[in-house]
Amino acid sequence: MKVKTHSQAIEDQKQKILRYINAHHPPECLDCPKTGNCHLQTATFVHGGPADAVGIVGATFRKKALNPWIDFYPDRCIQCGLCTAFMDQVAGSSQLQLMRDQDGFVIDMAYGDQLEAGVSGNLVDLCPSGAIVKAGEDAHFYPNDIKKSMSIDVMDGCGAKTLVTAHKDKVVEISAPNDVSKNHFWISVIARFSVDGLIHNRALSPMMKKEGKLEPVSWIDAFKAVVRKVADLKPEQMAFLAGDGVDVETLYLLRELLDDMGVSHRDMLSRPSGLPFRERGDYLFNTSFEKLREADACLIVGHAPNRDSPLLKAYLHPYFRNNEAQIATVGVEDERYASLGPFSTLEALAQKKHPFFEVLCAAKNPAIIVGDQCLNGEDGKFIYEWSRLIAKASGCIREDWNGFNIMHSSITTVGGLDVGFYPSKGGWDTESIKRMVRGRQIKLLYLMHAEDLPFGSLEDTFIIYQGHHMDRVRSMQILYCQAVFIPKKMGFM
């Protein structure tokens, strides 16, 4: 006997059953607004049926914007408390609360007009009923339509893993994978909603400025223009700068090319001038996020976790909240941690004249976290040396524990230092290159994803910008070449 499971008669019967189920499906169902969670939507999409049967949502719900990225639908809320527990225990914010009104209990903000936590976007994944969703989410995609790929967050220096969801040839969502060792299931708001930058305002072909206006050109014409310009210049008249979001493979190949050309003026915009790179441990986050939980005392220098690295703050907060670790800051003020004062306090700590030095010495696993943004300028070298001296004197650095950490704001910095993308002998760093460009001594400036440069239009300098967005460099006299963004590229970080 032969059993047929895909005959036309069976498919017709399946469609009849789906029409009946859809006709009696409650319009206030809480699963339909959740992308990919509704089995009825998926079955209707696979087996066919009336067009109005796919994604039936007949009810109208009230909507409230919690911040520019996420919306809240009070009528869908089942008051499970996951969102308030996450904000309190992970994000370290009491802004979202379960409160009582005239109709009963409701989830609402206790203060402020917007939800401010840097990891608040994770509420979209946590909410089981679809009450908290991405703002402007009006398109639904089905498991049959989408493809998921692992990638990495390039919006800060934490290096969190991300899960990129694509519909056909378009990235539609960036979410957090289940990776306890790095993310602990969370990603920052900026990482989650940076997907918009992969879609909008991108130039898709090379462009060259002609008579003050950018016009599309072919890749052959773009390469010819570069070759003609390079052939007429000496190596000391050229400079190369790398910005944020450049993968290590690209930096390595570019450094090899510059070595062959004899160009020594190259640097990364994110490399702090006061950061040494004698040994790899000088510029790494040596403890790792996972082992940071073993620290029982922590000194944060020139870094605001809530603003600069929300994931780091999410790791620190549970232990600070349970009084398992003593945390203090220098150079920044954070209401959640004890502030020891300005950067000059480091000198007192290094001389063992400050009470918190005794706290570090008494701790079993003390840790020091130095933000890279405070290491620029003349004071940066002193801040680094003082922090390093405190780490050695307090027992942060020993054979079985390394608690001295540099928290980078860019994911590019560590990889660039590893492959040697910094000024070679006699070369200029970022600040020197900027001065020489303004002084008209640089005739060719190559910018790899480097956008935050206040140059304007420079008639004497041929500027090549290779990146994925060009909003901030349109005023320059440039040749624009398209580059692939890291989430869409198989590179090495």
Tens-digit pLDDT profile for the chain (493 aa)?
A: 777 777 888 888 888 887 777 777 665 565 554 444 566 766 776 776 554 444 444 455 678 888 888 888 887 787 888 888 888 888 878 888 888 777 677 888 888 888 877 888 888 888 877 788 888 755 555 566 678 888 888 888 887 888 888 877 777 788 888 766 656 678 888 888 877 776 666 767 788 887 777 788 888 888 888 898 899 899 999 999 998 878 888 899 999 999 999 999 999 988 887 777 778 888 999 998 888 888 889 999 999 887 888 888 887 877 666 666 788 999 988 777 888 999 999 999 999 899 999 999 999 999 999 998 888 877 888 999 999 999 999 999 998 999 999 999 888 899 899 999 999 888 898 888 888 888 888 888 888 888 767 665 566 788 888 877 666 665 565 776 766 555 555 543 3
pLDDT value of residue 55? 45
Q: Do 330 and 343 form a contact (C-beta atoms < 8 A)?
A: yes
Statement to judge: residues 286 and 347 lie in one domain: yes
* Whether the model pTM is above 0.85: no
Dist. CA 45–CA 15, nearest whole Å: 10
What's the sign of the alpha-carbon dihedral 194, 198, 203, 206? Answer: positive
Statement to judge: residues 313 and 369 lie in one domain: yes
Statement to judge: residues 177 and 220 lie in one domain: no
pLDDT value of residue 111? 84
Structural domain includes residue 275? no
> Across the beta sheet with 170-175, what order do the strands follow?
146-152, 161-167, 170-175
pLDDT value of residue 454? 62
Number of domains within the chain: 5
Among 375, 409, 443, residue at a domain's last position = 409
Structural domain includes residue 339? yes
Statement to judge: residues 367 and 298 lie in one domain: yes
pLDDT value of residue 53? 46
Statement to judge: residues 284 and 399 lie in one domain: yes
HSE (CB half, 13 Å, CA atoms) of 441? 9
Domain of 404, CATH number, reads 3.40.228.10
Domain of 90, CATH number, reads 3.30.70
Statement to judge: residues 402 and 418 lie in one domain: no
Among 409, 429, 445, residue at a domain's last position = 409
Angle in degrees, 0-180, between the axes of helices 82-89 and 310-321, rounded to the nearest 10: 90
Residue with tokens 């933000």: 371
Statement to judge: residues 419 and 405 lie in one domain: no
What CA dihedral angle connects 304, 308, 473 and 423, to 10 degrees?
A: 80
Which residue, 410, 402, 435, 417, is CA-closest to 486? Answer: 410
pLDDT value of residue 50? 52
Statement to judge: residues 320 and 418 lie in one domain: no
Among 105, 134, 163, residue at a domain's last position = 134
> Across the beta sheet with 266-268, what order do the strands follow?
213-216, 207-210, 478-482, 462-467, 444-448, 238-242, 266-268
Q: Do 49 and 15 form a contact (C-beta atoms < 8 A)?
A: yes
Q: How far is residue 238 CA from its own chain's centroid?
A: 31
Statement to judge: residues 75 and 43 lie in one domain: no
pLDDT value of residue 61? 62
Q: Give the pair of three-digit tokens for residue 180.
A: 């306890």
Q: Residue 18 sits in which domain range?
A: 8-53
Statement to judge: residues 289 and 366 lie in one domain: yes
Structural domain includes residue 140? no
Structural domain includes residue 367? yes
Structural domain includes residue 141? no
Structural domain includes residue 58? no
Structural domain includes residue 330? yes
Domain of 249, CATH number, reads 3.40.50.740
